[in-house]
């Protein structure tokens, strides 16, 4: 049962809301009308799911070379506007596409054998610049790593390659992947295809952006505080954070400091189309895919649907936009109409109000390292105050938000302190409550974020809003960001996230597919004349 918000916190929330409204007004004055439009999508190949493209390539209805050429043209068309791609391997990828076409034409394997052994043969794939792809940049947006190239593929990318996917490009991230706007001193800032004055999220922001602009068939992201789901939401695509420890994190930089942090981090699939997520996850999980029973049919008529409209008033967290509340209620109404009122229940779990504090505490570990060590390329702690001083004179190679995050990180409770222990207990209580609630046939529908995509730099004024996604990481549950078709009143994507119990990823994905059928999923970015 929900508890009332303390009076002092309610007053603080009211003042914070007024301040946010004033800040939003200022940003609107600064940015004015919507930014530059991306060119319209004129190539029908770009409108196919990765699953559909793979099927057509196997059946020789399309060639892999033809598909890669279409996506490469689209990248060249949109990247000058969006700055989502930071490295490419077009020539080598086209050679690999020709080899895929030759393999298919050789008749060495039947169509059925190819579908089983190489389900994404010849389909182009992208990933973010922190997931290693052999021979490509591996900077994680850190200036000190600006010339680093990967010596091997990340485990997840190696599995996708084995399944026939062909890497074509790397996409932009936030500095060391620890902020929710993709901007760094190596590659600059990425812009949203729906409004170039808005953010793409982070740290998989470049990946969300390239997908939304129809410049990639599908891609890989990583998520330790919402870094798949926030970009998926802001860019109107699907993104899935798997259950903890199902997909290998080997090849991700920066690597987690502890085994528990490793359980919070999840590499997962991103796509414009819900049908791609399940086969991608099955491949990425490797031998652990057996834990997920992804081939098992999900009977939605036997499921329970819970929904919560907000975190209940978290400190320094924005109120949920009216557009998003309305979207949530449309989802609930659809589920009631299709599956019955008794299957859908509105809830309010009070522990969600402390999501940010729980996330920050549980991210602590006994290594003694923090974000300043990550900014030092996992070799040393940088002097954050000195670098901040240098930043004001344009002499630092770090971003302002990276330095600010390091300072904020150092101010959090220490591992093993009474406050730490208290917040770990709060996490465990919420985890147990959700496990009991969801069982093996329930999902929680929850906002992915309290607002639609903010303006560039605006997240600095509302840094704790990531708590809506971050809490799921420390709980370890799977969660899928789902776009809801029709754009909101600001011309930006709307969506929700679907959360399920441990290893019940298939429930998230089945509900995502249902909502895509009902509401339309990804919507093309509008062309403004």
Active site residues: 128, 203, 227
- Specify whether the CB–CB gap between 54 and 98 falls below 8 A: no
How far are the Cα atoms of 178, 183, 381, 430, 482 from residue 393, in angstroms, in the given order? 24, 19, 21, 45, 42
> What tokens were used for 272?
């414009």
Within 10 angstroms of residue 416's Cβ, the number of other Cβ atoms is 11
Name 124's bridge partners: 166
Counts of helices then strands in the chain (DSSP H, E): 18, 13
Q: DSSP strand E in 335-486: where?
A: 344-346, 442-446, 479-483
The Cβ of residue 8 has, within 10 Å, a number of other Cβ atoms equal to 8
Report d(CA 512, CA 519) in Å as an integer. 10
Q: At what angle do helices 277-284 and 155-162 cross, to 10 degrees?
A: 110
3-state helix, strand and coil shares in percent for the chain, rounded to the nearest 5: 45, 10, 40
Query: Could you tell me how far CA 309 lies from the centroid of its own chain?
Result: 20
Let me know: does 365 contact 415? Beta carbons within 8 Å. Answer: yes
Strands 495-500 and 442-446: antiparallel
Beta bridge partners of 223: 266
DSSP sequence for 44-56: GGGGS-HHHHHHH
Q: How many CA atoms lie within 13 A of 263 on its CB side?
A: 13
Read off φ and ψ for residue 445, nearest 5 degrees.
-100, 125
- Residue pointed to by tokens 């295809």: 193
307, 519 contact by CB (below 8 A): no
CA 42 to chain centre: 27
Q: How far apart are the C-alpha atoms of 419 and 182, rounded to whole Å?
A: 32
Q: Which residues have CB under 8 Å from 338's CB, separation 6+? A: 518
Please state the φ and ψ torsions of residue 350, each to the nearest 5 degrees.
-65, -25
Q: Is 270 left (phi over 0), alpha (psi -120 to 50) or beta?
A: beta
């Amino acid at each position: 049962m929900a508890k009332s918000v303390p009076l002092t916190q309610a007053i603080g929330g009211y003042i914070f809301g007024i301040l946010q409204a004033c800040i939003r007004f200022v940003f609107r004055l600064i940015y004015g009308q919507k930014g530059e439009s991306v060119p319209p999508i004129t190539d029908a190949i770009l409108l196919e799911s990765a699953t559909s493209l793979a099927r057509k390539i196997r059946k020789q209805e399309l060639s892999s070379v033809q598909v890669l050429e279409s996506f490469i043209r689209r990248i060249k068309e949109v990247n000058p506007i969006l700055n989502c791609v930071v490295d490419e391997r077009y020539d080598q990828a086209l050679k690999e596409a020709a080899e895929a076409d030759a393999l298919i034409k050789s008749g060495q394997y039947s169509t059925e054998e190819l579908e089983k052994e190489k389900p994404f043969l010849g389909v182009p794939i992208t990933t973010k610049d922190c997931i290693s792809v052999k021979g490509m940049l591996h900077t994680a947006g850190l200036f000190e790593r600006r010339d680093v190239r990967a010596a091997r593929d990340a485990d997840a990318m190696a599995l996708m390659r084995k399944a026939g996917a062909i890497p074509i490009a790397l996409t932009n991230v936030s500095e060391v992947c620890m902020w929710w706007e993709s901007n760094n001193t190596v590659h600059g800032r990425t812009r949203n295809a729906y409004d170039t004055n808005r953010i793409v999220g982070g740290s998989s922001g470049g990946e969300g952006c390239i997908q939304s602009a129809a410049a990639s068939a599908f891609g890989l992201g990583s998520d330790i505080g919402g870094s798949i789901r926030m970009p998926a939401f802001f860019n109107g695509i699907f993104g899935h954070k798997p259950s903890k420890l199902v997909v290998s994190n080997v090849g991700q930089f920066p690597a987690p400091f502890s085994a528990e942090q490793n359980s919070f981090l999840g590499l997962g699939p991103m796509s414009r189309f819900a049908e791609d997520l399940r086969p991608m996850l099955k491949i990425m999980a490797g031998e652990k895919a057996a834990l997920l029973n992804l081939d098992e049919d999900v009977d939605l008529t036997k499921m329970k649907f819970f929904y919560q409209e907000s975190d209940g008033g978290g400190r320094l967290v924005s109120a949920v936009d009216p557009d998003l509340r309305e979207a949530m209620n449309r989802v609930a109404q659809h589920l009631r109409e299709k599956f019955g009122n008794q299957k859908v229940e509105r809830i309010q779990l009070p522990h969600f109000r402390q999501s940010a504090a729980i996330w920050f505490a549980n991210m602590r570990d006994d290594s003694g390292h923090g974000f300043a060590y990550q900014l030092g390329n996992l070799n040393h702690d940088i002097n954050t105050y000195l670098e901040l001083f240098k930043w004001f004179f344009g002499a630092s190679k770090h971003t302002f938000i990276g330095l600010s995050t390091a300072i904020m990180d150092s101010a959090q409770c220490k591992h093993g302190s009474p406050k730490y222990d208290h917040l770990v207990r709060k996490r465990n209580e919420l985890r147990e409550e959700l496990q009991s609630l969801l069982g093996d046939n329930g999902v929680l529908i929850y906002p992915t974020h309290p607002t639609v995509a903010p303006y560039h730099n605006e997240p600095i004024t509302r840094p704790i809003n990531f708590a809506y996604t971050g809490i799921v990481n420390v709980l370890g549950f799977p969660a899928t960001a789902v776009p809801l078709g029709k754009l909101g009143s600001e011309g930006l994507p709307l969506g929700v996230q679907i959360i399920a119990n441990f290893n019940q990823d298939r429930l998230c994905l089945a509900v995502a597919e249902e909502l895509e059928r009902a509401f339309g999923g990804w919507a093309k970015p509008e062309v403004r004349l």
